[in-house]
Amino acid sequence: MQLDILTVCYLIGSVTFILGLKMLSNPATARKGNLIAAGGMGIAIFGTIFLYQTDNGKGLHNYVWIFSGLIIGSIIGTLAAKKVKMTSMPEMVSLFNGMGGACAALISAVEFDHVYREFRLDTNSFADSVPFVHYFTISAGAIIGGISFAGSIIAWGKLNGRIKDFSFNGQHILNLLVLGFVLSIAGFTYWSHASITNIWFLITLLSAFVYGVLFVLPIGGADMPVVISLLNSFTGIAAAFGGFLYNNKVMLTGGILVGAAGTLLTMLMCKAMNRSLMNVLIGSFGTKNAKATVGKQQGGNYKEITINDTATCMAYANKVMIVPGYGLAVAQAQHVCHELEKILDEKGVQVSYAIHPVAGRMPGHMNVLLAEADVSYDKLLEMEQANDEFKTTDVVLILGANDVVNPAAKSDAASPIYGMPILEVELAKSVIVNKRSMKPGYAGIENDLFFQPKTSMLFGDAKKVLQQLVSEIKNL
């Protein structure tokens, strides 16, 4: 009966994962979907703790350790999630994803230790007693989880500025050699003498960590949304191998869903940048190529606009489009931006937001940012829809976005971002760009848009500028 109840718990967990993921595809139902999936996970966890039994009828007994870990982890996770700033959200996602990869690697390590202790005294070779499929599942989970952990930690460090982009000639060849070494040692471990198999497995795991570091280290900041989603898929795949190990249906389902969703998201991110995944991993866009263009102006002069003139343009426009970027997140200005939107709405101005898929530092960064300020989901336009609307837009207000509105992606074949789909803001009647300075964006590329006749520069911190705009428009 207990086994039957546990199976039902796992079934409920699996169904809620699928429903939750489906609901996450729509901003209006995303929060509810997250809660449903979390509820299913809770049922699966507590069902395992209290109902799981081994073949000899024994259940879990070390409740002090289990609940200590649950309580400590829950407190740390809750505090971290509540205190994190929106600018640091990508780092938190990378860090938490890394913890998932580490967990999957540790599961594989624990299972390896279990079979090693059971068989090493009875055989000369590990392969004599351990089925290859079982060992393959263990090693795959350890390698992929190790790569995800190390890579996510490097991504976390690069996003918060603690680790700089680092590359050298031949680094990709070195990476391939290290990956080959990891796979070779993993294979050698299976056929090694049972007395030293654990040493070779440890070398395999450590080599996977090294590869994870080398894998992410040369990738430029502009490619971070792709890297984050790719590492997320790695963690899901590693978790799925853990589900195979213990024949745990809910862990298997969750891992497959995360792995598949991460892979699809990676493909969508690459499509949004008009690049292949191989080009992202080998091209290192945002480092070598981008640095070569830093400081190289495309020619022409830019013009500035005052707060008063900006307020007048927006207040008497029929249609205004706001393009949020990382600068908006840095200034924590999403709430003031929503206030500006509401004031313009009251004056009869049609206001909407143009969202580029890779704006910010992680997939969906701008959507999360604006959702925090309770911006209506109906006002968030995806890139294709926004591009159709720009032709009839009177004023476009760009808040900290840079590379995703750079016309060089369409006109300059020598540009590193050439071919990348962008928000075609230059089609609007007037473009106002809010930036702190004329420094290039995260990809390190000068923006042609700033020197076009339609474009006016509004310098300053996004939050202060928006607050001044709100005050000026109220007085008109």
Catalytic residue numbers read 403
Q: Taking the alpha carbons of 17, 20, 25, 27 in that order, is the dihedral positive or negative?
A: negative
In whole angstroms, give the CA distance from residue 54 to residue 77.
31
Helix (H, G, I), strand (E, B) or coil at 125: strand
Contact status, residue 116 vs residue 253, Cβ threshold 8 Å? no
> Of 295, 287, 300, 325, nearest to 440 (Cα)?
295
Q: Which amino acid, one-letter code, is at 359? A: A
* Count of residues making up the chain: 476
Six token digits for residue 264: 């699809």
Three-state SS string over 175-215 comes to HHHHHHHHHHHHHHHHHCEHHHHHHHHHHHHHHHHHHHHHH
Calculate the alpha carbon distances from 105 to 137, 138, 206, 236, 251 in Å: 11, 9, 11, 12, 14
Helical residues (DSSP H) of 84-170, grouped into ranges: 89-119, 132-159
DSSP state of 128: G
Calculate the alpha carbon distances from 231 to 155, 379, 425 in Å: 9, 31, 32
DSSP state of 437: S
Contact status, residue 376 vs residue 300, Cβ threshold 8 Å? no
Contact status, residue 457 vs residue 303, Cβ threshold 8 Å? yes
C-beta neighbour count of 364 within 10 angstroms:
21
**Angle, vertex CA 425, rays to CA 390 and CA 276, nearest 5:** 110
> Of 367, 388, 267, nearest to 325 (Cα)?
367
In whole angstroms, give the CA distance from residue 188 to residue 210.
18
